[in-house]
Every structure is written in structure tokens, then in C-alpha cells.
Chain A
Amino acid sequence: MDVLVFESADSAVADVVDGSVVLVGGFVSAGTPSNLILALKRGGQTGLTAVANNIGLGDLLDELCEERQLAKVIATFAIRASGTRSSRFEAQYRAGEVELELAPQGTLIERLRAGGAGLGGVLTKTGLGTMMAEGKQVLELDGEDWLLERPLRGDVALLKAWRGDRQGNLQYRLAGLNFNPVMATAADLVIAEVEEIVEAGEIPPELVGTPGIYVHRLVQCDPVPVRWDG
């Protein structure tokens, strides 16, 4: 089954509705779907919940704060330890205009994996005895405590890969995998920006990082240069 190839990032995200939960792949500059993020900015959708590793570290997700499109962020890096630099997100968070749910990185990825894999949750030691355990169930199994973390899914996932073929198979580049392959499994609508669209068969099967059945839309975009601003 062929994937839908869109002519532009703007058209690929045009029907994302207000209030959607949007999974955003990438880790600072690596494997980050910056073209799709900027398309959402131009699209003007509001009330969004963004699920991403980071916001406000020189990444473009912070741009969605310019017109207050985010209602909530679920992330692992959100507020810098030092107050010398501040993001738009941080200013809105301090003003009480956007909600933040911070999650340990290993827990965030397993919640997404559970969401994509049809599992009811994850039991982890991470976060036990800390603020992360507040309001969550602790299960004692064979005399050991485990923190129950619930699955997380998105309405939409925005991914970045190096190449995509017309069946939606994705091939990643270097450390560009990070959150992308798991997020591909955990959303109802999966949109990937790729540097090149190729015919089926051009990506050797053993180098497919995300099998095409997870991917609904592809758009070819030149990568946007992004770098952590320190």
C-alpha cells in the first residue's frame, strides 16, 4: 500500500485539529522534524499538547509558543538549570499559560512504546521515592516496589528520517533515530519529513528503521539547521 506523498509540509499538517496530542520526534538537533514543526506554526492550530524530548534548547518547538499554540508539554528537558537563558516556553510556563509534565527520558520512551505496542503500562524503578512518583501507583511484587507508568499515545506523530520510500519505509541517519521509531508506532496519524523520497526497494530491507505500515504521510524537505544554543 502506497503512502500519501504531500507536496509541502504545510499541506501535510493542514488537517491537524486544535487540541491534538502531537508526538514530536528528535533530540535537540538530531532527527528533529523542524519543517513539520514550522508548518504547524504557520497552520496556527491551538490547544496542542506536545510530547517531545526537549523544548527551548535552541529547538524550533519553542516557536509554537510565539502564538501560544501549546496548552501542555510532556518532555524531559524543559527548564534550564541556569537562569542565564530563557525560552518562550519557560516564560509562558512561569506565567501559568502552559502546563508542563516532566518525565524521565527512559520512562517517556517506554510509555510511548507501551502506547504503540498495545500494553497497559510499564513497571519501573525509575522515579521511586521522588516527585515523579506522586499520584502514581506503586506495586509490590515479590517484595520489590515498582512504579506503574501508564501508556502514552498521540493523535499525530511528526517524525524526521533521512530517506523514505513510497511504501512509507523510513531509513534514519546517524543518531537521528532517538524517539522517532517508537513514536511512529504510537499515533493515529504519522507524518514523516524526509530528505529524499525514493522508490520502494531502494532502501535495503535490513536498513529500514521504521516499517512502512506505521507511516501515513511523507513529505520531502531540506533539513532546517538547528543547533543547541548552549
Chain B
Amino acid sequence: MRPGPGALGRLNIVTAQPPTGLSRELIALRAARELERGSVVNLGIGLPTLVAGFVKPADDILFQAENGILGYSGISDSEFDSDLINAGGQPVDLVPGASFFDTADSFTMIRGGHIDAAILGGLQVSARGDLANWFVPARGGGSVGGAMDLAVGARKLIIAMAHVTRDGEPRIVEECDYPLTAERCVDVIITDLAVIDVRDGGLSLRETAPGISPEEVAEWTGAGLLIPDDVAEMSL
């Protein structure tokens, strides 16, 4: 394993600016590519909701919304119906074969292992795949929604987020200092700079964004990062 400089490396580049990576839309597009054909997928609030716009009918993806919908296609342009929204309160269109159910059924799907993949936003992810995404210490109080259940119950957990904070601090860290959503739950991290797998309790770089080097990814990652010889550039 060739570890990145991690938190110590950050001390040397404290005045540097992070490189410009993918837009939010392109992060969502890359996250959509991560979904297997025919899978049942839950999208978290924020950036992950954009993913629905990047799947094709041929992908045969069934989106679940934890407020009680299985089978919506994306954000709707038609007249707002207050009873037809996703978990982010946005109006949605249904696909043929869609169904409605109550919250108990919805979390039976989520906790019970019936959801193939969830794509959630993140505040921090640790080297062993701990996730923090519901509580900003500076704001307090928090909003957890279905995040803890999805982190525990989805068969594959994909985190889509910016690689660093607005202040240039890495979001991928050895240990989360924000309160956790769940321990050891993240499988894949997709950011504006890279695709990183969490495997065997460590981080492994799989792809870099166009124009970004593996060394730059390591520099802006606050945890040890394995850089295999076959790191690819994302195809978008």
C-alpha cells in the first residue's frame, strides 16, 4: 500500500487551493453509472436527487422514496400535487408499475435488505467507511430523516459529495469528528475529484476526474489512500 500524505500532508499545503473537479451534475452522472442494471435504489436529499436525471429507461432502475413510493422517474414538471412528492418534498412522476405504501413498509424495504443501493450525501467519511451526514456541529439539532436506516440497511452505500469543504478541509478523514450516521457502512465515495472504494477497512483510489492526478487526490484526502497501478480516468 502506498499511503497518501493524509492529514500530515495537509500541513504543507495549507495555503493551496483545491483543484477544480466535477460539477454537481457530473458527480451525479458518475454516481448514476455506479448503479447496476435492474437495481432498486434510494436517493438521498440534495446532490443525490440529481442522479435520477441520469439514468436511462434501459437501465431498468427502480427508485424508492422513503416517504412511500417505489417507482418514480424523476422530478416532475407537471402541476404540483401535494400528495405526490419524494422524500425531499419535490414533485415526482411515476413509472408504470409504481406502488405506494406507508412508512413502516418503506423501512421494512430499507432495513430489511430489499434496497440494492442508496446514494447519500456526506459531510465526512472515515478511512474505514464510517459516515457522518446528519449533524453539523456548528448548527446543532440536526435532521436525520431516513439516513441512519439507509446507511445500515442498503446493500450498497454510495456517498456522493464534494471532496473538500468550502474551507478546503478534507471530508475524507482518518476518524470522523462529526457525529456518525453509522459505522463501517460506506462502500464507494464519489467526489468531484475521484471514485474511491472502501474495502477491507481501507480506502483505494479507483478513478480520478479528468485533469486530476492520483497525487492531487491523495493530497486533498485526509486519510491513507491506496493508489493502485491501474487507476483510471473517469469516463463521463
Contacts and interface: CB of A to CB of B under 8 A. Distances in A.
A27 B136 CA distance: 23
Contacts of B102: 109, 177-182, 209
| Minimum-distance CB pairs A-B, first 10 | A228-B89, A79-B141, A106-B107, A106-B149, A29-B82, A174-B83, A104-B148, A28-B89, A109-B103, A27-B67
A79 B80 contact: no
Interface stretch (A14-22, A43-51, A63-71, A128-136): A128-136
Interface in A106-140: 106-107, 109-110, 113, 124-132
Contacts of B143: 76-81, 102
Contacts, number: 155
Contact of A173 (B83, B106, B144, B182): B83
B146 interface: yes
A8 interface: no
Contact of A30 (B84, B139, B181): B84
B103 to A, nearest CB: 4
Contact of B68 (A79, A83, A175): A175
Contacts of A125: 111, 152-153
Secondary structure at chain B's binding surface: helix, strand, loop or mixed? loop
B67 A104 contact: no
Interface of B: 65-69, 80-85, 87-90, 100-104, 106-107, 110-111, 135-136, 139-149, 152-153, 179-183
Contacts of A209: 102
A44 B106 CA distance: 35
Where chain A touches its partner, the secondary structure class is: loop
A122 to B, nearest CB: 10
Given A83-B139, A130-B181, A175 B146 contact: no
Interface residues of A, number: 55
A154 B31 CA distance: 41
Interface string A83-95: 1000000100110
B130 to A, nearest CB: 8
Interface string A19-63: 000000001111110000000000000000000010001100000
Contact of B136 (A58, A81, A175): A81
Nearest to B112: A106
24 contacts: A28-B67, A30-B67, A53-B67, A77-B143, A77-B145, A78-B141, A81-B136, A90-B141, A106-B107, A106-B148, A107-B149, A109-B102, A110-B104, A110-B107, A126-B149, A126-B182, A128-B182, A175-B67, A177-B68, A180-B102, A181-B102, A181-B104, A209-B102, A227-B89
